[in-house]
């Protein structure tokens, strides 16, 4: 299996979730072994993707430095993970990614339009050799050795619409588009009001998130899946794992995981070479994993 980039540059404009301002997003192809590289056009600031670039995980995954940052990258990166993109330049003219409809499907459509190009170098992935886990009370995130990529997520909210939900997802690009990519982010009306009073979530609407009051879903169209909340958590987790810069061949499991726990997990994984190998897909001898990107 070869490394991948996009065939041609492509642009889109969307609203930023927190500032509520238009953000221009442009994707450009990059050469082999270049990785995923973010660029703040308004600041002429380059931010190569890696856990070392993460500076905040409280409400979203944020990369950058004291010179500037880019927020809410996880929805976009889940599509990058799903399409197996290894090398690409991601250009924005503001401090966050556009939120689109609150899911990843718009980014999938963008990548479809740009087209996928195979490159003259073997694709490398992170092969997990030892189980790595991060806990916070009863909350946990875990990566375990596996011959395929799979995600198990369980959540529990004291809310009549959500309650306890779980989703098991056997990764493939096709399954991602059909089962995960359309799952939207969600928020509670009482929290949104507070955040907006603090100058955050100014772009949040029922067109780009699931809104909930104390009793029900506020979106007139309702939910896209019965367990859309758990599916979105898998979407987030895939994006957060892609912060490592590579697809990960492992089983991911979580109860009530978060961006912060996911960041701690990738950091812990990569901190010790006994935990993983960075290997060419051909060396994995796993046809299931290679076929998942077909």
User: Please, are residues 135 and 264 in contact by the beta-carbon 8 Å criterion?
Assistant: no
- For the segment 57-64, the average pLDDT, to the nearest whole number, is 94
CATH for 2-122 is 3.30.230.20
- List, for residues 26-47, the tens digit of each pLDDT value: 999 999 999 999 999 999 999 9
Band of residue 286 on the pLDDT scale cut at 50, 70, 90? confident
Residue 260 falls in the annotated catalytic set: no
- List, for residues 141-189, the tens digit of each pLDDT value: 999 999 999 999 999 999 999 999 999 999 999 999 999 999 999 999 9
The pLDDT value given to residue 192: 84
Tokens 């929290």 locate to 191
- List, for residues 84-133, the tens digit of each pLDDT value: 999 999 999 999 999 999 999 999 999 999 999 999 999 999 999 999 99
- For the segment 45-56, the average pLDDT, to the nearest whole number, is 98
User: Please, are residues 90 and 48 in contact by the beta-carbon 8 Å criterion?
Assistant: no
> What size, in residues, is the chain?
294
Q: Which one of the listed residues 75, 232, 259, 260 is annotated catalytic?
A: 259
What's phi and psi for 135, nearest 5 deg? -125, 155
- For the chain, the structural domain boundaries read 2-122, 125-291
Nearest to 292 by CA among 118, 124, 129, 176: 176
The pLDDT value given to residue 194: 84
Q: What's the distance, Cα to Cα, between the start and end of the chain in Å?
A: 10
With 90 as the cut, is the pLDDT of residue 64 above it? yes
- List, for residues 19-28, the tens digit of each pLDDT value: 889 999 999 9
With 90 as the cut, is the pLDDT of residue 285 above it? no
CATH for 125-291 is 3.30.1700.10
With 80 as the cut, is the pLDDT of residue 221 above it? yes
The pLDDT value given to residue 200: 79
């Amino acid at each position: 299996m070869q490394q991948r980039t996009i065939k041609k540059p492509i642009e889109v404009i969307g609203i930023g979730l927190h500032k509520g301002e238009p953000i221009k997003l442009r994707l450009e192809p990059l050469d082999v072994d270049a990785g995923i590289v973010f660029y703040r056009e308004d600041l002429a600031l380059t931010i190569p993707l890696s856990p070392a670039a993460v500076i905040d995980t409280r409400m979203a995954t944020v990369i950058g430095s004291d010179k500037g940052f880019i927020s809410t990258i996880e929805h976009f990166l889940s599509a990058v993970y799903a399409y197996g993109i290894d090398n690409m330049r991601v250009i924005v003219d503001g401090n966050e990614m556009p939120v689109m409809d609150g899911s990843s499907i718009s980014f999938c459509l963008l990548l479809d339009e740009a087209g996928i190009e195979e490159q003259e170098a073997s694709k490398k992935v992170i092969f997990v050799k030892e189980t790595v886990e991060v806990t916070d009370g009863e909350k946990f995130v875990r990566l375990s050795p596996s011959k395929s990529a799979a995600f198990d997520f369980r959540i529990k909210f004291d809310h009549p619409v959500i309650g306890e939900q779980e989703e098991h997802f056997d990764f493939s690009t096709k399954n991602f588009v059909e089962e995960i990519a359309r799952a939207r982010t969600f928020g509670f009306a009482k929290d949104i009001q507070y955040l907006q009073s603090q100058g955050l979530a100014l772009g949040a609407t029922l067109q780009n998130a699931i809104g909930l009051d104390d009793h029900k879903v506020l979106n007139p169209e309702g939910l896209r899946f019965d367990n859309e909340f758990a599916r979105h958590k898998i979407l987030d987790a895939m994006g957060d794992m892609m912060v490592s810069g590579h697809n990960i061949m492992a089983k991911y499991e979580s109860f009530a995981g978060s961006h912060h726990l996911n960041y701690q997990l990738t950091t812990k994984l990569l901190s010790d070479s006994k935990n993983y190998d960075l290997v060419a897909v051909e060396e994995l001898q796993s046809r299931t994993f290679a076929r998942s990107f077909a």
